[in-house]
Amino acid sequence: MQIQFLGCGDAFGSGGRFNTCFMVQWRDGRFLIDCGATSLVAMKQQGVEPNAIDAILVTHLHGDHFGGLPFFLLDARLVSRRRRPLILAGPPGLRQRLDAAMEVLYPGSSKKAGDFDLDVRELDPGRRHDIGGVGVTPFLVNHSCGAPPFALRVECEGRILCYTGDTAWSDSLIAAGRDADLMIAEANFFETPVKGHMDYRTLESRVPDIRPKRLILTHMGEDMLARAGDLAFETAEDGKIITL
């Protein structure tokens, strides 16, 4: 299983980074975890073919995590001429919020179908779902976004990947990330407590409860980026590729 950080930035482009979008490649295909507003640009810059993506998993419904979906879908219909089915899976409310976003950005676009089957699935928290052969278990976390926010525990090729999404500390992260081969964790701030977001100091103190085999920090703001060389954990970079 290979993970490529197409985008690992926060909502405000700190450090010139793209919004959150991770691509996972495994023996049977490719899927994205989150698709922030800049994700289609990041994909094309890094030579990723949109039509090669089988599914997109969404943690929560903020623009820097799902706002790239309207552009991805319009590209699929008008530019890439997609024919393969596509699965979009995320929190309850995904279908309604996606339609609303498409109508705001490109009026009428939500009513037009492409030449491919689009399967939008709204996931139940705490239950393991099969998404194209990949096991996905969402866990409720602490982040206000108008719909349930998720951390995701993803099982693929005998490996476990956990992504916290955006969240303040939540005990559900222990179950989501326990003994994961890789945990990708938000660390938006160094030690400043901000509602709905993780600070590095809090995460650092709770990692022993989770026990991931490898941890990579993402979604870092300016104060985190200024300390990137002095942190105890590995950090994400746009374009970074790792293999599990």
Both tokens assigned to 79? 């530019």
Select from 153, 164, 215 the least CA-distant residue to 60. Answer: 164
The confidence score (pLDDT) of residue 114 equals 86
For 8, the token pair is 């690992």
The average confidence (pLDDT) of the chain is 97
Flag whether pLDDT at 178 surpasses 90.
yes
Give domain limits for the chain: 2-243
Phi first, then psi, for residue 164 (nearest 5°) are: -70, -20
Q: Mind listing the pLDDT tens digit for each residue in 42-81?
A: 999 999 999 999 999 999 999 999 999 999 999 999 999 9
Q: Which two tokens stand for residue 9?
A: 């930035």
Name the CATH superfamily housing domain 2-243.
Answer: Ribonuclease Z/Hydroxyacylglutathione hydrolase-like (3.60.15.10)
Predicted structure pTM score: 0.97
Structure confidence at residue 14 as a pLDDT band (50, 70, 90): very high
**Structure confidence by residue, pLDDT tens digits, 83-131:** 999 999 999 999 999 999 999 999 999 988 889 999 999 999 999 999 9
